[in-house]
Amino acid sequence: MPDNRILLIHTGGTIGMVRSEDGFRPAQGVVEDELIRQRETGSAIPRTSLQSLSPLIDSANATPEDWNRITHTIQRHHAEYDGFVVTHGTDTLAFTAAALTMALEGLDKPVILTGSMLPLSEPNNDGRRNLYDALQVVGAAKPGVWVQFAGRLLHGARIRKTHSNSFDAFAAEPTDAPPRRPGRAGLVRHVYGAPDVAVLPVVPGGAGNLLLHAAQTCDGIVLRCFGSGTIPNTPHTDEALRIAAKRRVPVLAVSQCPEGGIALGTYAAGAILTRHHAVDGRDMTMEAAYVKMVLALSLGGTVTKHRQFLSDPLCGERSLPET
């Protein structure tokens, strides 16, 4: 492992923050100092270069353009390094992990995302361990996009944040599919645009006016359904889905439940979705569903092409259909 060459890409986030009058804020030098400390204390970490994005971001302010900045950095240095570690804020880490997994087609090296719930600048923080673990595992991990957090290596396209303040803040459903989008001709980087995508939960009574507004104005809709894929079968809901289909707005259905996913057609209360050509997201997380919708729309093409792209397993983000 010490012979491996690793690029550490620091994007910002809690791990590299310091205290200010307004609360924790990103600061240059925090992650750099920790990397120097680990080298000087004799930690068995690989040869690591560090590159910080400028400006650093609080991950709550992250956008698809920031996903593009990270993937551009990886693509530009892909041939120079054996692996990559990305430090990132925890609020949107699951979105970014899914975005990198889907955008880096043909990735043949490990990319490890990590962060912390408490900054490196604070005593008894979790950032020191998470950064050390990420630098350790990057030399042994299989190609793909992973998240190293609280002692666990998790699938980049299936991860979700499950706790707002615990050090053990992330979970991911297990899968045999690697967190990697297969490719045929080396690394191909896909670029995210800025389509207007709504993520809407259904609630008792339907919230039909919100869905109707999204159907009339948005480019894509991720619909968070009850249980295994049911929604209120109301005139408002039916009209909204009819308008979305007429405007060629793709609708991707996922479950509000953190585990198990959906299976459209199980209940009559979900028939309204299949009738209006909603895509069955099975057990995709909301984060992966949102990212995949943004990427589908960014690629252009017809709504038929979008629905097919959303339906097909891409990088382990959803279970394969039963045969």
Domains of the chain and CATH, by start: 5-189 (3.40.50.1170), 197-311 (3.40.50.40)
How far apart are alpha carbons 85 and 51 in whole angstroms?
10
Catalytic residues: 14
How far apart are alpha carbons 229 and 280 in whole angstroms?
8
Output the six-digit token pair for 292: 């995949």
Sign, CA torsion 10/11/14/20: positive
| DSSP labels, 192-256 | P----EEEEE--TT--HHHHHHHHHH-SEEEEEEBTTTB----HHHHHHHHHHHHTT--EEEEES
How far apart are alpha carbons 229 and 246 in whole angstroms?
22
Q: Quick one: pLDDT at residue 34?
A: 92
Q: Quick one: pLDDT at residue 323?
A: 39
Instruction: Kindly give, in sequence order, each residue whose CB lies less than 8 Å from that of residue 225, ignoring residues fewer than 6 positions away.
Output: 202, 231, 253, 254, 255, 256, 262, 270, 273
Q: Quick one: pLDDT at residue 152?
A: 97
How far apart are alpha carbons 267 and 225 in whole angstroms?
12
- Please report, in tens digits, the pLDDT of each residue of the chain (323 residues total): 457 899 999 999 999 999 988 888 888 899 999 999 988 886 778 889 999 998 898 889 999 999 999 999 999 999 999 999 999 999 999 999 999 999 999 999 999 999 999 999 999 999 999 999 999 999 999 999 999 999 999 999 999 999 999 999 999 988 999 999 999 889 999 999 999 999 999 998 766 789 999 999 999 999 999 988 888 888 889 999 999 999 999 999 999 998 888 888 777 777 899 999 999 999 999 999 999 999 999 999 999 999 999 999 999 999 865 53
According to DSSP, the β-strands at 188-189 and 170-172 are unpaired
Q: What is the pTM of this model?
A: 0.94
Residue for token pair 């992990």: 97
